Amino acid sequence: MSVEHVKLEVKDLVIGYGDRVVLQNLNFHVSRGEIFCIMGGSGCGKSTLLKHIIGLYPPKSGDILFSGRSIVNATPEERRAIMRGFGVTYQGGALFGSMTVAENVALPLTEYTGKSKAEIAEIVREKLKLVDLDGFGSYMPSELSGGMCKRAGLARALALNPDLLFFDEPSAGLDPITSAGLDRLILSLRDQFNSTIIVVTHELDSVFSIADRVIMLDKGTKSIVADGDPRDLLKNSTSEWVRCFLDRDGLKRQ
């Protein structure tokens, strides 16, 4: 596939902490406009992989490329430029509790742009409206529900208009109705803005609702054991573990 159509490419990646290898021999790509999910059992390294992809930690070896540009071999200035194209939402929203919702969303704009206060306020209103939080800018994070905090975190991630969005367990701790609403919002962002979206999750309902493709990580082999459309993997994977994981509740999905 040409560089123009590949947003993210991971090559021969080995990651870990200190002398410990968490994952190895990782090779995969994410196409532009794709919703791509990273799955696996607890402790398999899903969130660790995400942290390495977005540049928080250096890999032990291998490469990570965004639109053909290596974040691993980049200079500090080049790395910052690449990371400016990311929007990241963390578990729980990761909002600053001493700041209002509007101030949280404005933070990237204040830090990384030279826009005026009026311009920033208008962008904040637009982003909060986009995530159905219009009118909640003056609220403190403690005054919001869990689902609202996650949407406020998403508004902040969207502040700089990134074309690549990362979600770390977006449905964790949410009730089924709120979780389904967040899934619809993720689909809407992809459809409206042609965003490329990478989601770390173990929530099967969300995976089958939003994912174009998944990779599945295995704690035992420390590598990828499946890559493809989750519906196809459920029906046709040659791995019994993969089929059982995707249908672990005995649900029949079409």
Tens of pLDDT, residues 9-38: 999 999 999 999 999 999 999 999 999 999
Mean pLDDT across 157-170: 92
Mean pLDDT across 226-244: 95
Tens of pLDDT, residues 185-217: 999 999 998 999 999 998 899 999 999 999 999
Examine the pLDDT at 93 and tell me if it is beyond 90: no
DSSP string, 89-108: E-TT----TTS-HHHHHHHH
* CA-closest candidate to residue 101, choices 125, 72, 70: 125
- Calculate what percentage of the chain has a pLDDT beyond 70: 95
Tens of pLDDT, residues 57-90: 999 999 999 999 999 999 999 998 998 899 999 8
What is the average pLDDT value for the chain, to the nearest integer?
91
**Cα 31 from Cα 7, distance rounded (Å):** 5
213 phi/psi in degrees, rounded to 5: -155, 155
User: pTM score, two decimals?
Assistant: 0.90
Spell out the domain ranges in the chain.
Answer: 95-160
- Identify the sign of the CA torsion 195, 215, 41, 45: negative
Q: Distance of alpha carbon 236 from its chain centroid, rounded? A: 27
Please tell me the predicted confidence (pLDDT) of residue 94.
Answer: 84
